[in-house]
Structure formats: C-alpha cells, structure tokens
C-alpha cells in the first residue's frame, strides 16, 4: 500500500506541471492569434489607403493632362483672343458687347 501512495503522490506532482504547461500553451496560442488578427487588420487598412491613393493619383494625372492641354492652347494667339472675348468680355475698339441672359437665369427669374 505504501507503494500505491507514493505513485499517487508522484502523479499529483506531475499534474500541476501539466496544467501549468497547458495554460502557458493556451496563453501563447491566444497571443499568436491576437497578433495575427492585428496584422490582418493593419494589412486591410493599408490596402484601403493604397486604393484611395491610387484613385487620387489617377485624378491628379487627369487634371495634369487637362492643364497641359490648356497651357498648350494658351500658346495659340487665336485661342487667347477667343478666350478673352468669351470669358472676360474683351472687345475690339469700336465694338459693343451685349450680354444676353441665359436660359437658366430666365427660369430662375420666373420662379421668384
């Protein structure tokens, strides 16, 4: 009987070690899962930022092309004359400029 008591004591001593190792393994697993989830969220946020940046770059490139075209047009003296006459109401000497109301302006005046 004393042998059985000794083996039970030995088993009891091993049992707390197994429990401790199991808890350590669970904690390490939880930490690794948390780190993986954190990395996944960071990756998704970075992909979103990249997509937004690429769309901004695309719109800026389009705007740059439009401005380059406008710059090239402004080198043409005929275009500059038409632009100044149309937008800034510049006239030649002896010319009269008449500004006619647009359709949108007439419609808003009727509503008021």
**DSSP readout, 35-91?**
HHHHHHHHHHHHHHHHHHHHHHHHHHHHHHHHHHHHHHHHTSHHHHHHHHHHHH---
pLDDT for the residue numbered 68? 96
Per-residue pLDDT of the chain (112 residues; tens, 9 = 90+): 555 655 555 555 557 888 899 999 999 999 999 999 999 999 999 999 999 999 999 999 999 999 999 999 999 988 888 888 777 777 778 777 777 788 876 555 555 5
pLDDT for the residue numbered 44? 98
Q: Closest Cα to residue 99, out of 110, 90, 107?
A: 90
pLDDT for the residue numbered 36? 98
CA dihedral sign, ordered 69, 72, 76, 82: positive
d(CA 33, CA 39): 10
Asked whether the beta carbons of 73 and 81 are under 8 A apart, the reply is no
């Amino acid at each position: 009987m004393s042998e059985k008591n000794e083996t039970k004591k030995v088993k009891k001593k091993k049992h707390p070690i197994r429990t401790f190792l199991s808890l350590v393994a669970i904690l390490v697993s939880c930490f690794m899962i948390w780190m993986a989830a954190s990395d996944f969220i960071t990756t998704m946020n970075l992909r979103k930022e990249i997509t937004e940046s690429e769309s901004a770059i695309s719109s800026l490139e389009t705007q740059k092309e439009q401005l380059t075209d406008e710059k090239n047009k402004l080198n043409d003296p005929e275009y500059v004359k038409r632009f100044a006459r149309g937008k800034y109401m510049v006239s030649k000497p002896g010319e009269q400029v008449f500004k006619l109301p647009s359709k949108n302006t007439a419609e808003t005046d009727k509503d008021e």
